[in-house]
Amino acid sequence: MAVTALLKRFLRYLRLHPRVRWLVWLAGLAFFYITTVIPVYYMYQSESAKKESFIKRPPYLSGGTPSEAPDATSPLASSYVDIYLTAVAADFNSKQLKVRASFMPTGDLAVGGRSITQHDVIVATNAARSGIQDESGITVPTLLARPVSVIIGTTLIKFTAGQMMDARDVLVPFLEGNQRDYPFDRYPTNVYVTAFTEPVTAANSTGPVEALKARTAVPFQLSFFGSVQSIHFRALPLYDAFTECTLYVRTRRTTTTIIFSLFVCLLMWLLTLSLSGLCTQMLMQGREVQPANMALGITLLFALPGLRNAQPGIPTVGVASDMLAYVWNILLITVYTVVIIAIYIIRWDQPAKEDDMAEQENVVTQTQYSAAETSNYDSTTSKQHTDY
């Protein structure tokens, strides 16, 4: 009770002092901006920033020695291929992840290194990309010193001597996931990466088994990036060996997208509850129905689809967020609008016709004329009695 009385006194004080009321309003707005708008903005920036989700390095780049390579006597023992995987698009309708892969040969594999005329480098993975930038932002050409082949995953890419290892886009299918769960849908997938070399004579031989045995593993450094609007990526190693790696990439909606979708659902319910209160007053408390009240419900019916489609990346009607708000709000608003129109129809009074109005005017005129004659007769009779 004391808190309620204090609140009433404070509100009364604000009504009597307009300047203080404006200061309190500005302070409340500033508090909301600092405590809500700015944190959500930084959350959005952190989610949309291009970050390394996973990095795999050869052992001798992480403090190890070249002897940790499968073949320390190989001319490629101190060389490796730098592989960058970047998720550039996610098609949840066809359940495919578009990944761009870039390659950078280092050591004896790059221009200016030791001669490797007897090697074709092959890199295998589910994606490919090129065009790597240094710290200054200048693109570094990834030229090969000798005839080299690169395979990443299931895609075989071969390069000749002096050729740049250009970027390649590959579609990786999602293992599972359904858009019906929007905005809580998740789409995992596996990306397998490995690298190896083979002599030219083995590559040209007729025996595939001999060619496989002649291949020499190549160390590689792998980095995974994910930066797509309203989508969050997380890469974890399922299997990580010296010359091969399997990434488990989990794709979902960003946190800000989920929060905004739930806010839209809440907004739909608030609009529906407002129309429900108006309909209840007209039905139970006899509030007069104005034509604008009927237009309100019809306007909401056309406004809700646009409000629903404002959710980032939302599929067609039938997802989880629709079951939380959109479908039920469309149904309730339709019912309330029909009830308001029905009340307006039922309470309508039929206006009198023109003939009936003319007849009523004649009756009123005759009644007034008769009343005037009666009044004159009474006055005359009263005067005669007085004279007598």
pLDDT digits (tens, 9 = 90+) for 301-313: 999 999 999 999 8
pTM score, whole prediction: 0.71
All residues at 6 or more sequence positions from 218 whose CB lies less than 8 Å from its CB, including other chains: 76, 79, 80, 81, 109, 121, 123, 195, 196, 197, 243
Most confident of 14-28, 104-118, 161-175, 203-217: 14-28
So what's the pLDDT on residue 196?
75
Residue 84's pLDDT band (cuts 50, 70, 90)? confident
User: With 50 as the cut, is the pLDDT of residue 135 above it?
Assistant: no
The SS3 assignment for 21 reads helix
Half-sphere exposure of 59 (CA within 13 A, CB side): 15
Residue 170's Cβ-count burial label (10 Å; 0-12, 13-18, 19+) is buried
Residue predicted with more confidence, 346 or 64: 346
So what's the pLDDT on residue 253?
92
The SS3 assignment for 133 reads strand
User: With 80 as the cut, is the pLDDT of residue 279 above it?
Assistant: yes
Output the DSSP codes for 137-184.
SPBPP-BBSS-EEEEEBTEEEEE-TT-B---EEEEEE-SS--GGGTTS
The SS3 assignment for 102 reads strand
Rounded Cα–Cα distance for residues 319 and 305 (Å): 14
Residue 373's pLDDT band (cuts 50, 70, 90)? low
User: With 60 as the cut, is the pLDDT of residue 341 above it?
Assistant: yes
So what's the pLDDT on residue 332?
95
CA distances from 299 to 208, 238, 342, 359, 370 (A): 70, 53, 17, 44, 57
For 285, left (φ over 0), alpha (ψ -120 to 50), or beta? alpha
So what's the pLDDT on residue 277?
92
Expressed in angstroms, the distance from the first to the final Cα of the chain is 84
- The pLDDT tens digits for 148-186 are 666 666 777 676 667 777 788 888 889 999 999 999 999
So what's the pLDDT on residue 369?
55
So what's the pLDDT on residue 149?
65
Residue predicted with more confidence, 365 or 345: 345
User: With 50 as the cut, is the pLDDT of residue 134 above it?
Assistant: no
CA torsion sign for 173, 176, 182, 183 is: negative
So what's the pLDDT on residue 68?
45
- The pLDDT tens digits for 23-57 are 888 988 898 889 888 888 887 777 666 555 666 66
Rounded Cα–Cα distance for residues 124 and 14 (Å): 72
- The pLDDT tens digits for 217-249 are 777 788 888 878 888 888 888 877 767 788 888
So what's the pLDDT on residue 63?
44
For the ranges 114-118, 156-160, 163-167, 322-326, the lowest mean pLDDT is seen at 114-118
Residues 140, 132: contact at Cβ < 8 Å? Answer: yes
Mean confidence (pLDDT) of the chain: 74
CA 231 to chain centre: 7
Rounded mean pLDDT, 113-121:
39
- The fraction of the chain above a pLDDT of 70, given in percent, is 63
Tell me the helices (H) and strands (E) count for the chain, helix number first: 10, 12
Most confident of 8-12, 95-99, 238-242: 95-99
For 341, left (φ over 0), alpha (ψ -120 to 50), or beta? alpha
Residue 274's pLDDT band (cuts 50, 70, 90)? very high
So what's the pLDDT on residue 57?
61
User: With 90 as the cut, is the pLDDT of residue 121 above it?
Assistant: no
So what's the pLDDT on residue 348?
77
Rounded Cα–Cα distance for residues 80 and 68 (Å): 13
The distance between the two most distant Cα atoms of the chain, rounded to a whole number of Å, is 157
Residue 119's pLDDT band (cuts 50, 70, 90)? very low
All residues at 6 or more sequence positions from 11 whose CB lies less than 8 Å from its CB, including other chains: none
Rounded Cα–Cα distance for residues 127 and 124 (Å): 8
